[in-house]
Amino acid sequence: MRISVIGCGYLGAVHAASMAKLGHDVVGIDVDPKKIDDLSVGHAPFFEPGLPGLLQASLDSGRLKFSTSMADAAGAEVHFICVGTPQRKGEYAADLRYVDAAFAGVAPYLNSGDMVIGKSTVPVGTASRLADEYMESAPEAILAWNPEFLREGHAVKDTLHPDRFVYGVPDGAAGERATAALDEVYAVSLSEGTPRLVMDYATAELVKTAANSFLATKISFINAMAELCEAAGADVTLLADAIGLDDRIGRKFLNAGIGFGGGCLPKDIRAFMARAGELGADQALTFLREVDAINMRRRSRTVELTRQLCGGFLIGKRITVLGAAFKPNSDDVRDSPALSIAAQLQLQGAEVTVTDPEAIENARRRFPDLHFEHNTEAALAGAHVVLLLTEWKEYRDMDPASIASLVDDRRILDGRNALSAQRWKAEGWQYKGVGRP
């Protein structure tokens, strides 16, 4: 099929390259000329394992190109909208200006029978509003909402082999045509047995926000248990292992630590609360306020634990922060708990050095006053306390014996419970985990 992908960020760039890999003819469109220049020569503008290879293979096949001109969307039968929906400044609600701009931009190029498929995460009710506002100029074109569930760091696999497809479609014949078109787009993945669920717009929109809210709730639940474990002298990792064996609960997303961040979970739960308020259903989601509060408390708690490890005073202490990205295998620092903790420690007088395998440049742009160091050994040199805040494999595999000579004091705060306490203690380290005695 001929496909346009509008918006080439974390979602759109991977989607465009993946659709070409599935055999479609794809044009990726973005307003950022630098991004388009990079993508056109096979450079991924962000770190995502597997994306450079996929991008190059798709470009080499001749089925993928990129453009800054919306006019190049003309002629595509399916237009995917993959632009961002960030949090509005000073509010909880989502900022839909990029979604609206994408619809306004593509509308003049729609032909009769074209499909416009929204993938961005939007407040419930958005698809039907967009259908009313922008689809009238092309009465035969059809809008569907097909939310995306990819995780950064696993985006290629999640796009090519998702665990489910959700199609939000209009009633009647238009819905049947949209379903048939999406089935054709995803024919390869569907032939692998991937479940697909067809529903109305509102339910499809809600599926996405409900899924992210559930994940956020799961993480905050275990972090609340970590608070209790700390108060009671219990171990939250053993608790998670034990409750996780009940397959109604499951062990995934039960890792206590410094909490969730990134460009999705934090802003999605807030936008969900804002939308519920508009719908007069705010009571249904007041628990998400607590989910958010527990999550933010992890950051201040980590600062406090660090202060304790420093003997009560942060001023003048040299602190090395391992990890700046909001999670491993990503260079994304949006709302990164690691960076927020590093910045708070510095504001309270510590001398903070931050290192990360991939995210330093992005981190430096957000926090230019922090000190960054690419080389892990140099970052560790002279540290009074080491903080593991993003569990990259190279930090998880770090040898406590060989780095002992680099630091001034053998003290480590494992903000992700990713290390073996026993092993570090055996090498003479004062080890502190999260929610562990």
Residue 206 has which token pair? 């809600």
**Region binding ligand UGA by CB under 6 A among candidate stretches 51-59, 137-145, 255-263, 429-437:** 255-263
Select the residue interacting with ligand UGA from 7, 123, 170, 262 (CB under 6 A). 262
Note whether 81 binds ligand UGA by CB under 6 A.
Answer: no
Select the residue interacting with ligand UGA from 260, 395, 429, 431 (CB under 6 A). 260
- Cβ proximity to ligand UGA, 165 vs 326, nearer residue: 326
**Region binding ligand UGA by CB under 6 A among candidate stretches 42-50, 74-82, 212-220, 420-428:** 212-220
Note whether 103 binds ligand UGA by CB under 6 A.
Answer: no
Residue 14 CB, nearest approach to ligand UGA (Å): 11
Residue 304 CB, nearest approach to ligand UGA (Å): 18
Which H or E element spans position 303? helix 286-309
Select the residue interacting with ligand UGA from 28, 45, 259, 415 (CB under 6 A). 259
Cα distances from 31 to residues 8, 134, 379, in angstroms, run 9, 20, 37
Note whether 152 binds ligand UGA by CB under 6 A.
Answer: yes
Is 264 a known active-site residue?
yes
Note whether 219 binds ligand UGA by CB under 6 A.
Answer: yes
**Region binding ligand UGA by CB under 6 A among candidate stretches 243-251, 261-269, 312-320, 420-428:** 261-269
* Separation CA 15–CA 28 (nearest Å): 9
Select the residue interacting with ligand UGA from 64, 130, 150, 178 (CB under 6 A). 150
Name which of residues 307 to 336 contact ligand UGA (CB under 6 A): 326-327
Q: Is 224 helix (H, G, I), strand (E, B) or coil?
A: helix
Q: What is the CA radius of gyration of the chain?
A: 23
Q: Binding residues for ligand UGA, how many (CB under 6 A)? A: 21
The DSSP secondary-structure symbol of 1 reads: -
Residue 270 has, within 13 A of its CA and on its CB side, a CA count of 21
Query: CB neighbours of 169 closer than 8 A, spacing ≥ 6?
Result: 142, 144, 175, 178, 179, 198, 199, 200, 201
Note whether 237 binds ligand UGA by CB under 6 A.
Answer: no
Note whether 212 binds ligand UGA by CB under 6 A.
Answer: yes
Q: Which of 340, 328, 353 is nearest to 300 (CA)?
A: 340
Note whether 265 binds ligand UGA by CB under 6 A.
Answer: yes
Q: Is 171 helix (H, G, I), strand (E, B) or coil?
A: coil
Note whether 261 binds ligand UGA by CB under 6 A.
Answer: yes
Note whether 126 binds ligand UGA by CB under 6 A.
Answer: no
Q: Which of 8, 229, 264, 310 is catalytic?
A: 264
* Separation CA 135–CA 110 (nearest Å): 9
* Separation CA 179–CA 202 (nearest Å): 16
Pairing, β 411-414 against β 78-81: unpaired
Longest dimension (CA), the chain: 72
Answer yes or no: are the C-beta atoms of 5 and 26 closer than 8 Å.
Answer: yes
- Which residues of the shown chain bind ligand UGA in the complex (CB under 6 A)? 121, 148-152, 212, 215, 219, 253-255, 257, 259-262, 264-265, 326-327
Name the residues annotated as catalytic.
Answer: 264
